[in-house]
Amino acid sequence: MARLVMKFGGTSVATIERIRNVAAHVRREVEAGYEVAVVVSAMSGKTNELVGWVQECHKLYDPREYDAVVASGEQVTSGLLALTLQQMGLAARSWQGWQIPILTSDAHGSARIESIDPARLNAGFARGEVAVIAGFQGMHEATGRLTTLGRGGSDTSAVAVAAAIGAERCDIYTDVDGVYTTDPRIVPKARKLEKVSFEEMLEMASLGSKVLQVRSVEIAMVHKVRTFVRSSFDDPADPRPGTLICEEEEIVEQQVVTGIAFSKDEAQITLRRVADKPGVAAAIFGPLADSNINVDMIIQVVSGQAGSGAPATTDMTFTVQAADYERAMDLLRKLKSEIAYEAVEGATDVVKISAIGVGMRSHAGVAALAFRALAEKGVNIRAITTSEIKFSVLIDKDHTELAVRTLHSLYGLDKAA
């Protein structure tokens, strides 16, 4: 029998009535002949509430107890959905991560899935049961402790389960009806994509699109899990297919640029007049890396007074995640004499805008078009990075909408009026 994983996010299970609607979607697939594993998130807002309670109890909380608390949101919805399915006359049972088991690393709060043994799930399918799996959670085998997979981790649970049970596809049901060329709240002309490649989706998720957790896309790509993003608010009797995330070869009509992503989660740091000599970059970025602070864009400007007799210096600009900004600034201030810079400046009112498309591999000058278009709109670019299938610019946050709309039109992504 063919197998299917269906994942439902927090807004899709926010009330008992919505859980009934989820159950109707599940019943449709069972009646179509699938063996179904359903992965559920916590009710919307629940995980935030649980995290808040943890912080209220203990500012420097034990991450193992954090996991014990926040994993409970998914325990509730898995039980409620199993009950609702039973009430409809379907055989169903709930599964917590540790019961399957879904084994993970011991990085509490952002654990990685290491293995999923499908044996118990298989036995359940053989009994004719729908498996209702609590997303977001697993277990670290050696310590026997509960773990969670990081915010948005139910997507990752779903794709990993799909790989483990050999599902034909993984349907991620959410409150939007697919993956868009950009955020439709910012660009009303954004279009729904019929298909998007794993690689592009990975970039989009990493660069700010919040549709899927980044790790879920990594797993889908490695295990070639055909993954649909689709709406749980569609009529269960007549749902639309949503957006398929699949291999590049499956996509016939390729645009040069597939989507525009943006992230306001960025901060810029500039070190003024750093000595321009071997070892400076290591002196700056080594300690940041040791403190687990991820650096993204880096620009080095040689401003040095070459020939003037004074030692050459350089300005070094880079970006970190907004959440790491204070820690990074603190660390750099402490290292002032070691690194030997003159001043440190920072800005948090910045946004990173990225254009993504596998077509960039075979087209030259794609980014240059954007630089010109942004200049014409008076948008100043603070930093640039490029790679094979994307480029990103860092600009003032105030220009987010203008820049996203400009690039969206520039690359022909606007839907026909």
Which residues contact Mg ion (rule: CB under 5 A)? Answer: 9, 152
Given ligand ASP, Mg ion, none, residue 67, with its beta carbon under 5 to 8 Å by kind, binds none
Q: How far is the CB of 10 from ligand ASP (least distance, A)?
A: 5
From Mg ion, ligand ASP, none, interface partner of 242 (C-beta below 5 to 8 A by class): none
For residue 133, which of 54, 223, 89, 71 has the smallest C-alpha distance? Answer: 71
Residues 6+ away with beta carbon under 8 Å from 167: 3, 4, 5, 37, 161, 225
Paired strand residues for 384: 393
Stretch that binds ligand ASP, among 150-158, 194-202, 230-238, 323-331 (CB under 6 A): 150-158
Q: Of the candidates 188, 203, 205, which has an alpha carbon nearest to the alpha carbon of residue 409?
A: 188
Phi-psi region of 6 (alpha: psi -120 to 50; beta: other; left: phi over 0): beta
Task: Find the binding residues for ligand ASP in span 76-135 (CB under 6 A).
Answer: 135
What is the sign, positive or negative, of the torsion defined by CA atoms of 213, 216, 222, 226?
Answer: negative
Q: 75 or 154: whose CB is closer to ligand ASP?
A: 154
Could you say which of 8, 98, 136, 325 contacts ligand ASP (CB under 6 A)?
136
Nearer to Mg ion, 134 or 410 (CB): 134
| Residue 42 binding result from ligand ASP, Mg ion, none, given CB thresholds of 5 to 8 Å by partner type | ligand ASP
CB atoms within 10 A of CB 400: 20
The arrangement of strands across the sheet holding 145-148 comes to 113-116, 102-104, 137-140, 145-148
Is there binding between residue 154 and ligand ASP (CB under 6 A)? yes
Closer of 205 and 251 to Mg ion (Cβ): 205
Please, what is the minimum distance in Å from the beta carbon of residue 235 to Mg ion?
22
- The piece of 94-102, 149-157, 359-367, 368-376 that touches ligand ASP (CB under 6 A) is 149-157
Backbone angles phi, psi at 79, to 5 degrees: -65, -45
Round to whole Å and give the CA distance between 379 and 4: 47
Q: Using CB distances below 5 to 8 A depending on partner kind, what does residue 124 bind out of ligand ASP, Mg ion, none?
A: none
Identity of the residue, 95 or 136, whose beta carbon is nearer to ligand ASP in the bound complex? 136
**Which of 149, 260 has the CB closer to ligand ASP?**
149
Report the residue number, 9 or 242, with the smaller CB distance to Mg ion: 9
Least separation in angstroms between CB 175 and ligand ASP: 12
Member of 10, 97, 138, 242 binding ligand ASP (CB under 6 A)? 10
Residue 305 CA to residue 314 CA, distance in Å, equals 10
Partner in contact with 97, chosen from ligand ASP, Mg ion, none, beta carbon below 5 to 8 Å by kind: none
Least separation in angstroms between residue 159's CB and ligand ASP is 12
Q: Which two tokens stand for residue 38?
A: 């359903």
Minimum gap (Å) between residue 128 Cβ and ligand ASP: 28
> Token pair for residue 274?
């750093």
Nearest CB to ligand ASP, comparing residues 163 and 335: 163
Q: How many CB atoms lie within 10 A of CB 378?
A: 8
Of positions 151, 191, 272, 327, contacts ligand ASP by CB under 6 A: 151
Decide: is 73 part of the binding site for ligand ASP (CB under 6 A): yes
Nearer to Mg ion, 73 or 357 (CB): 73
**According to the binding rule CB under 6 A, does residue 259 interact with ligand ASP?**
no
Sheet (strand 313-321) strand order: 295-302, 313-321, 259-275, 343-356, 390-396, 383-387
- Least distance from Mg ion to the Cβ atom of residue 297, Å: 26
Q: Which of 70/413 has CB closer to Mg ion? A: 70
Closest separation between CB of residue 70 and ligand ASP, Å? 7
Pick 155 or 266: Cβ nearer ligand ASP: 155
For residue 326, the minimal CB distance to ligand ASP (Å) is: 23
- Beta pairing, strands 195-197 & 169-174: unpaired
Closest CA to 352 of 417, 276, 274, 296: 296
Centre a 10 Å sphere on the Cβ of residue 172 and count the other Cβ atoms it contains: 28
Q: Which residues make beta-bridge pairs with 314?
A: 274, 302
Give the shortest CB-304-to-ligand ASP separation in angstroms: 47
User: Residue 305 carries which side chain, given as an amino acid letter?
Assistant: Q
CA distance 415 to 16: 37
Q: Which helix or strand (DSSP H or E) is residue 263 part of?
A: strand 259-275
Task: Please compute, for residue 154, the number of CA atoms within 13 A of its CA located in the half-sphere on the CB side.
Answer: 34
Chain positions 22 to 51 lying near ligand ASP, rule: CB under 6 A, are 41-42, 47
Mode of pairing for the β-strands spanning 243-246 and 195-197: parallel
Residues near ligand ASP (CB under 6 A): 9-10, 41-42, 47, 73, 135-136, 151-155
